[in-house]
Amino acid sequence: MRLAFWRAGKDKSVIERAVSKAKSEVKPEVKLESKPRIEAKPAPLAAKPAPVESGDIDLHALGGALARKRGWIIVPTVLALVASVAVVNLITPRYKSEARILIDGRENVFLRPSSDRSTEERQALDPEAVTSQVQLVLSRDLAREIIKKNKLAELPEFDPVLQGVSPLKSLAALVGIGRDPFSMTPEERVLDAYYDRLQAYAVDKSRVIVVEFQSQDPELAARVANSIADGYLVLQQAARQDQARNASQWLAGEIDNLRKKVSEAEAKVEDFRSKSSLFVGTNNTTLSNQQMGEVNTQLNNARALKADAESKARLIREMLQSGKPIEASEVVNSELMRRLSEQRVTLRAQLAEQSSTLLGNHPRIKELKAQLSDLDGQIRDEAAKISRSLENDARIAGGRVDGLTASLEQLKKQATSTNGQDVQLRALEREAKAQRDLLETYLAKYREANTRETIDTAPTEGRIISRGIVSNTPAYPKKLPIVLIATLATLLLSSGLVVTGELLRQTAPRAVATLAPTVVRREPVVEAVEIEPAPLQPELTTDIEVGEFAEIGQLAESLLAAGAGAKKVTVLGTAPGDAITLSTLTLARHLARDARVVVVDLTASSPTIAAVSVDPTAPGLAELMQGQASFAQVITRDKLSRLHLVMAGRPGFDRSLLQSPRVTLAIDALLRAYDHVLLDAGSASDLPAELLTANARAVVVPDTSMEADARALMCEQLKAVGFSEVTMLSKPVQPSDAAETSPRVVAA
């Protein structure tokens, strides 16, 4: 018998032990009988290639391989160490000097434009401006000046043609690895060497530019670094002077043109004013507007006089009509009225004096009363005269109002006729003023630009804060880092090659033992023996069970041959029980030998899945649907095979979670990751049909009591439901106790 069939029986025996707890604890005894005992003896082992277990790395074997092949690691590492030490000592060292420039953007306050003098602080430079200054340091114009100033073209270090090109470089140039120095101009060769030794960058979060230069001569490195810093400042000064000179030349031409335009505009204004008689009076207003204002003021005064005279006359007239004392200011202030009032007061005093001694009919008393009445009449007559004079003044003021009103209306008509001309005049004046203001602005800028042009030393955007000094420490090559990197890289590379070879050797097909058919020898039983079934040991099976496993093996081969057409297999039965789960596991273990297979438990009615899992307490589909676990947590491994398992959920979970549409998404994800996905659907009483039938084949585990007609009818019904193909097993895999009556050991 082949190992494949033994392993199927072994899987079944382990499941039986997990389900039947009592059998794993009780030691059954076999009584002494006269019947012969059947003893199984293993046959000789044969070699067969074993399937490769994915994901398993034997660290002990890798360590042994490194120890065995240490010569392949040590020798290249030592050679790399010696070679790197020799190379770094043969390379001509270079010395580095650096200069630092601060970009502050400050200028002399007296040299700033007048528009900037009022601001205490100018806008700070942004990082982009500092980066632009770095590019100015690296400009080719500045490089040519530095090369010419320090005579770098005469040094063999910067022009390799002067000292001759080595054969190695010539060969590299021929094969296209390097550049041929003879194909380049002398200026290109010097510039190439110059930029190879120059480095300029801006310090992070600052406005400082660092200029670094390397050379075989430390004094030359310091001199060139300082020359670059000085040349950068000179280049900025020249640029500012050129800018001021160009501005002066442009402003001079613009000023001449503006002067002509201003003269023409002012001449147009005066000519139009004279033609339209829009002469200007005081306060820069036209004469018509000024006259209109004066007439309007006089009209308002006349109206006020008229209203005042009318109100005073009306008041005096009302006093005369009512017989009240006349106390108006115009009456009281009259000289005649004051004298009449004084006479009246005197007569009343005399009347009072005489009345004390004389009776009312006395001639003296009558005379005084007559005089007093005459004075009252005179006073009233005088008041009436004053009232009439005020009325006359009111009429005079009214006439003046009428005259001024007529004059104002005439002026308004005249102003209306000249409004259009006034608008044209203002437009001409506005144009003349704009040209005049622009001319004054250009004149001020021209004077400033001319002043900045004539200054010998123009202000720059930066200043040198640190000059380069001569260094005695080589900056290139870095001997220790180069040696360490070369040595470690060789060590890691050689070790990696050894480890890779060992891994490839481990993943190659290996021979494993298989069993030939069992040789059975009969001998009598002489005494009672105790059978102690140990976990994970070979179990007793019957000849009928071997047939069941052979049927499942054939089914597994057909599923493997179907390929993508059998990626999803639904295993279901007519009644719930362990037989469906045992059949599913047996079929899955057959498939797992040659493919990636996962079993998904959708029933949770049997503890078999948890019993064969390496993690019986792992979460399942229910926890995955609730978001309490991930795919990596719900997928576990079988104890005895490469099979992967997904349980339905922890004990007590809500079965309604398995009806969620997300379960279908989870199954689809597993289909993309595995070659075959087996669904343990049980009797499929409460599971959605789409979950089980979509692109799936069905394997039916029937009841032993089912007739052939019932089985055929069931297959037709399942195909009608939506299964692509239906396979009916002849007999389910059951937890067998036949080993107690007719045992046979299937050994590995």
Residue 462 to residue 207: CA distance in whole angstroms: 9
Band the pLDDT of 149: cuts 50, 70, 90: very high
Instruction: Show Cβ contacts of residue 640 under 8 Å, excluding neighbours closer than 6 positions.
Output: 7, 10, 11, 14, 536, 589, 612
Inform me whether the pLDDT recorded for 254 exceeds 60: yes
Predicted local confidence at residue 178, as pLDDT: 63
Give the burial string for 46-63 (b: 16+ CB within 10 Å, else e): eeeeeeeeeeeeeeeebe
Cα–Cα dist 442/440, whole Å = 6
Domain with 495 in it: 59-83+479-508
Q: Which residue has the tokens 């009672």?
A: 528
159 found inside a domain: no
Strands 635-637, 568-573: pairing is unpaired
Q: What is the pLDDT of residues 628-652, one digit of tens each?
A: 888 888 999 998 889 999 998 888 7
The 10s digit of each residue's pLDDT in 711-721 is 888 888 888 88
* Residue 238 predicted with pLDDT over 60: yes
Say whether pLDDT at 504 is over 50. Answer: yes
Find the Cα–Cα–Cα–Cα dihedral 406, 412, 415, 416, rounded to 10°. Answer: -130
Which position has the higher pLDDT, 537 or 598? 598
Q: Residues near 161 by Cβ (< 8 Å), separated by ≥ 6?
A: 181, 182, 186, 189
Instruction: Report residue 151 CA to chain centroid gap.
Output: 51
Same domain, 733 and 640: yes
Residues 494 and 548 in one domain: no
pTM, rounded to two decimals: 0.42
For residue 5, pLDDT beyond 70: no
Same domain, 488 and 616: no
Question: Do residues 544 and 503 share a domain?
Answer: no
What mean pLDDT is predicted for residues 679-693? 83
Mean predicted confidence (pLDDT) in 554-569: 88
What is the structure's pLDDT at 544? 39
pLDDT digit string, tens, across residues 297-339? 888 888 888 888 888 778 777 777 776 666 666 666 677 777 7
Give the mean model confidence (pLDDT) for residues 10-19. Answer: 36
Strand pairing category for 94-103 and 462-466? antiparallel
Looking at the predicted structure, is the pLDDT value of residue 661 above 70? yes
Q: 559 and 503: one domain?
A: no
The amino acid at residue 160 is P
* 699: phi then psi, degrees, rounded to nearest 5: -120, 115
Nearest C-alpha neighbor of 102 from the set 133, 61, 146: 133
Residues 208-222 have a mean pLDDT of: 93
End-to-end CA distance of the chain: 9
Domain match, 600 and 490 both: no
**Nearest partner of 6 among 413, 676, 562, 512, judged by Cα:** 512
Nearest to 141 by CA among 194, 99, 68: 194
In a domain, 681, yes or no: yes
Compute, in degrees rounded to 10, the torsion defined by CA atoms 181, 183, 184, 185: 120
User: For 700-739, what is each residue's pLDDT tens digit?
Assistant: 888 777 888 888 888 888 888 888 888 888 877 766 533 3
Higher model confidence: residue 359 or residue 523? 359
Please tell me whether residues 493 and 547 are part of one structural domain: no
**CATH number of the domain bearing residue 706:** 3.40.50.300
User: Are the C-beta atoms of residues 287 and 279 closer than 8 Å to each other?
Assistant: yes
Residues 6+ positions from 35 with CB-CB distance below 8 Å: 525
Residue 646 lies in a domain: yes
**E strands in 26-103:** 29-30, 36-41, 45-50, 94-103
Examine the pLDDT at 512 and tell me if it is beyond 60.
no
Task: Specify whether 493 is located in the same domain as 617.
Answer: no
Mean pLDDT lowest among 1-10, 63-72, 571-580: 1-10
3 state DSSP class of 80? helix
Q: Domain for residue 678, yes or no? A: yes
DSSP string, 275-311: HHT--B-GGG-BHHHHHHHHHHHHHHHHHHHHHHHHH
Question: 414 versus 41: which is more confidently predicted?
Answer: 414
On whether both 488 and 559 belong to a single domain, the answer is: no
**Complete DSSP assignment for 704-742:** TT--HHHHHHHHHHHHHHT-S-EEE-SS------GGGTS
Per-residue model confidence as pLDDT tens digits over 260-297: 989 888 888 888 877 776 666 566 666 677 777 888 88
Give the integer Cα–Cα distance in Å for 11 and 609. 12
Which residue type sits at 96? K
Same domain? 561 vs 498: no
- What's the pLDDT score for residue 18? 34
* CA Rg value for the chain: 61
Q: 192 near 184, Cβ under 8 Å?
A: yes
Is 650 among the domain residues?
yes
Counted domains in the chain: 2
Helices 218-276 and 363-454 cross at an angle (nearest 10°) of 140
Residue located via tokens 């279901």: 572
Inform me whether the pLDDT recorded for 119 exceeds 80.
no
Amino acid letter at 731? Answer: K
Residue 343 counted as domain residue: no
Domain boundary among 508, 523, 550: 508
CB 696 within 8 A of CB 679: yes
Q: Is residue 630 part of a domain?
A: yes
Tell me if 247 is assigned to some domain.
Answer: no
On whether both 504 and 553 belong to a single domain, the answer is no
- pLDDT, residue 108, reads 55
CA distance 229 to 250: 32
C-alpha–C-alpha distance, residues 263 and 718, integer Å: 107
d(CA 49, CA 337) in angstroms, rounded, equals 154
Phi-psi region of 164 (alpha: psi -120 to 50; beta: other; left: phi over 0): left
Whole-angstrom distance, CA of residue 156 vs CA of residue 183: 17
pLDDT value for 282: 62
Together in a domain, 614 and 711: yes
Q: Which helix (H) or strand (E) holds 200?
A: strand 198-202
- Of 492, 508, 524, the one marking the end of a domain is 508
Q: Please, which contacts does 624-633 make with residues 24 or more away whose CB atoms are closer than 8 Å?
A: 624/666, 625/657, 625/658, 625/660, 625/662, 625/663, 625/666, 626/657, 631/666, 631/669
Q: Reply yes or no: is the peptide bond before residue 36 cis, omega within 30 of 0.
A: no
